[in-house]
Structure 1
């Protein structure tokens, strides 16, 4: 095959310069009595056993370098490199580069980890990919790189934990990332002093700058497609060995209400579902507090028919409305926690039966009203609408602050609590980025321009 002159004629040295920030880039030199060859590949997307069996072993067994070159050329799936752009595309898609006698050939060695990848368990979707991260960092890198085949996707690695020595990978798109965010993250990880690191949630807690947090400021996800989507938006992903979750940062309040189904559905359907989740958060926070305020402090605000209906349902309840609310909310928390901790075979059945029995028995005994049962069920269902568990857990706890405010000051307390919570959200930052805004893309592009100007 004759090589045509071209200003971008490929050489492994030129390709290595483009991939200098790839921590999983492998560069080996093969030397035998018959000659020398240079081998270059990305470890996370290539099959090391296939490379050893079909490239390295024949190299040492064949005594003629020309015969070895002919073997590589005629092997199915191999091709000769022509330009740097084509070489980068092949390497990122799972090929191994081999330089022999001033010629570069690329050998198909794609690693497929489908057999060891399981489906997601905490972030379910109705459409789209269902594979999730595993406890193996190499497999997780493979899942990301197969979806994000860009030479701009860089990876840095470091060890965290004096005892555990856990490997952590930092992934980012160099052309899109905010370099100020990246510098702050490197500084926090470089100064982190811990003995044991076993989970992404632990790392998320360590890199947070706030000692007292009401809501999460980074996304912890088990979905590779969510990580890829956020990388394309200029964010940074942290993959931790021994855990099946990744951390995405910086993030804003809006990010926690985006499900991956929204990217697949029609635009108006995605917006409607997102609106439902926001309404669900509002119901979770306000419904119990409004029930207490309207029954104990301001019953004149609602219509007289509803007032009489609530009064009739509470005719046999022997304690104030806030006690009724707290009892039922705590019972719902017990059932939710039990459904998580029980074995999967009996968990859903036990909690469903327990909820039905408790609700019916409490109503017949006159300990709670019928409306209270409906309200608690609505609060529990609306809380489950949030796609990401960390935000869901935070909202579960925050609703008690609104209930306490309603117990003390009624509707005025709810308004004060709402204003305070909104001011808190507006004052928060996620790695320097405004937390309570709709979109982060403007800040990403500003950071990108600063990074190119040498300020990142």
Structure 2
């Protein structure tokens, strides 16, 4: 690459990366003949200071410094424009010396502050999770999304906390209306202290009375990268290891990152299993009340007699039995979350076994009820996004109340009403029940 081309490459990079909050430009020396251009989120500042800045002032001449940089291990002479931006997006520093250009390897590799994903664990794929450092989180995303179209806008929320909030998006793929709306909502948040992504999600949601989440709160960088590539907007918050993704539709909450790794048929099978689990956890308690107390004639006579025989010693109606066991399961779930990790799993497992066996032997609940509650709990736990899991835990009680009041008609009516309610929800103007994230355009592109 000629010297004139090197000078043009630095000017082109400056124009191309303008507006990036983590793009840095520095001049060294009194004559400003040495220029540095790099992404601070991807480069190691200690390496830049030790191997570039300090030697630039210690060298006797500019030529001596250029020879030093050119002979440094890992340094590449700047070539075409595409090569320059690819290396800079990997963490290299573009050093302009006069009219020559060199790409210096100063890649920052974060490992000490990166932990494993806990709430969204997967079998295959990356295991790292966001940390509580927003610069480290941006680094995790930039390392996976090495494109000059990835833009970052910084805002500040909280009169007292002054929490830094970063909005990340692909400038070529993002929906401008969604991006504009997201910025507007965040700027309109008037609170004293902001400490978590879930808290911000609550404030930027226009519906004050709602039960279904319309934005995903995730701890996985790979999920954020995948959604940015789909044209969505991601929001990172300093001092919090979670990100917000918008807009999000209903099917997004039932997609695990494992689905993207498996072969297509296996991925669809796993997703179908989750929808079956959703149906079971919603309807099993209400159907049990219906068939035990209102419409036993719908089932085969053997099954109806089996349910009646199992409940022969139970002294109260079926709906009280359902609510009692569901509440006990909720207590065990909350205890497993709040107890110390050393004793939590053991205490809840032993407590659940003893509680179920003792309640059955005492005649307080039926054997079938124990099986049903276990199936409901397991079905609820297969939902990948915990926000949706909490919502489904609440919805099943509402459907059970409809079953208590109206029997089988209440179950059917509540399912139809739930679908109608979901069809009316919008996430940043996007239909919540839209099953495909990408619109299929006609052949004419209209």
Question: Gapped runs of 5+ residues in structure 2?
Answer: none
Aligned match for 2:331, one of 321, 334, 349: 334
Structure 1 residues 377-388: aligned runs within 5 Å: 377-388=374-385
SS at match of 1:368: coil
Question: Residue by residue, what CA displacement relative to the aligned partner does 1:156-183 show, whole Å, maximum 9, x if unpaired?
Answer: 1111111111111111011111010001
1:269 and 1:225 map into 2 onto residues whose CA distance is 20
Structure with the bigger RCO (C-alpha within 8 Å, sep 6+) is 1
Question: Residue by residue, what CA displacement relative to the aligned partner does 1:357-386 show, whole Å, maximum 9, x if unpaired?
Answer: 000000000000000000000000000000
How far residue 10 of structure 1 moved from its aligned partner, in angstroms, is 4.3
Structure 2 match to 1:244: 241
Q: Within the alignment, does 1:405 sit opposite 2:386 as a pair?
A: no
2:190 and 2:97 map into 1 onto residues whose CA distance is 46
Structure 2 match to 1:44: 41
Structure 2 match to 1:17: 15
Structure 1 residues 61-210: aligned runs within 5 Å: 61-210=58-207
Say whether the 8 Å CA contact 1:30–1:38 is kept in structure 2.
Answer: yes
How far residue 76 of structure 1 moved from its aligned partner, in angstroms, is 1.1
Say whether the 8 Å CA contact 1:26–1:41 is kept in structure 2.
Answer: yes
Question: Residue by residue, what CA displacement relative to the aligned partner does 1:304-338 show, whole Å, maximum 9, x if unpaired?
Answer: 10000000010010000000000000000000000
Question: Residue by residue, what CA displacement relative to the aligned partner does 1:104-147 show, whole Å, maximum 9, x if unpaired?
Answer: 21111110012221111111111111010000111111111100
Normalised TM-score (structure 2): 0.97
Say whether the 8 Å CA contact 2:3–2:100 is kept in structure 1.
Answer: no
SS at match of 1:68: helix
2:340 and 2:270 map into 1 onto residues whose CA distance is 31
2:397 and 2:16 map into 1 onto residues whose CA distance is 53
* Range moving further from structure 2, 10-19 or 48-57: 10-19
Say whether the 8 Å CA contact 1:10–1:81 is kept in structure 2.
Answer: no
1:39 and 1:307 map into 2 onto residues whose CA distance is 79
Q: Within the alignment, does 1:262 sit opposite 2:259 as a pair?
A: yes
Say whether the 8 Å CA contact 1:10–1:82 is kept in structure 2.
Answer: no
Question: Residue by residue, what CA displacement relative to the aligned partner does 1:235-259 show, whole Å, maximum 9, x if unpaired?
Answer: 1111111011111110100101111
Structure 2 match to 1:454: none
Say whether the 8 Å CA contact 1:10–1:87 is kept in structure 2.
Answer: no
How far residue 433 of structure 1 moved from its aligned partner, in angstroms, is 0.8
Q: Within the alignment, does 1:28 sit opposite 2:26 as a pair?
A: yes
2:402 and 2:38 map into 1 onto residues whose CA distance is 60
Say whether the 8 Å CA contact 1:335–1:355 is kept in structure 2.
Answer: yes
Say whether the 8 Å CA contact 1:253–1:435 is kept in structure 2.
Answer: yes
2:28 and 2:69 map into 1 onto residues whose CA distance is 15
1:274 and 1:71 map into 2 onto residues whose CA distance is 56
2:7 and 2:114 map into 1 onto residues whose CA distance is 38
How far residue 5 of structure 1 moved from its aligned partner, in angstroms, is 7.5
Aligned match for 2:278, one of 281, 294, 306: 281
Q: How many residues align?
A: 444
1:390 and 1:188 map into 2 onto residues whose CA distance is 21
Structure 1 match to 2:433: 436
1:206 and 1:18 map into 2 onto residues whose CA distance is 34
Structure 2 match to 1:453: none
Normalised TM-score (structure 1): 0.95
Structure 1 match to 2:54: 57
Structure 2 match to 1:426: 423
Alignment RMSD:
1.7
How far residue 265 of structure 1 moved from its aligned partner, in angstroms, is 1.0
* Range moving further from structure 2, 328-337 or 15-24: 15-24
SS at match of 2:166: strand
1:158 and 1:40 map into 2 onto residues whose CA distance is 24
Say whether the 8 Å CA contact 1:32–1:60 is kept in structure 2.
Answer: no
1:16 and 1:324 map into 2 onto residues whose CA distance is 69
Q: Within the alignment, does 1:309 sit opposite 2:277 as a pair?
A: no
SS at match of 2:112: helix
SS at match of 2:101: strand
Question: Residue by residue, what CA displacement relative to the aligned partner does 1:250-300 show, whole Å, maximum 9, x if unpaired?
Answer: 010010111111111111111111000001011110000000011111111
Aligned match for 1:292, one of 282, 289, 302: 289
Aligned match for 2:319, one of 319, 322, 338: 322
Say whether the 8 Å CA contact 2:321–2:365 is kept in structure 1.
Answer: yes
Structure 2 match to 1:3: 2
Say whether the 8 Å CA contact 1:9–1:82 is kept in structure 2.
Answer: no
1:332 and 1:262 map into 2 onto residues whose CA distance is 29
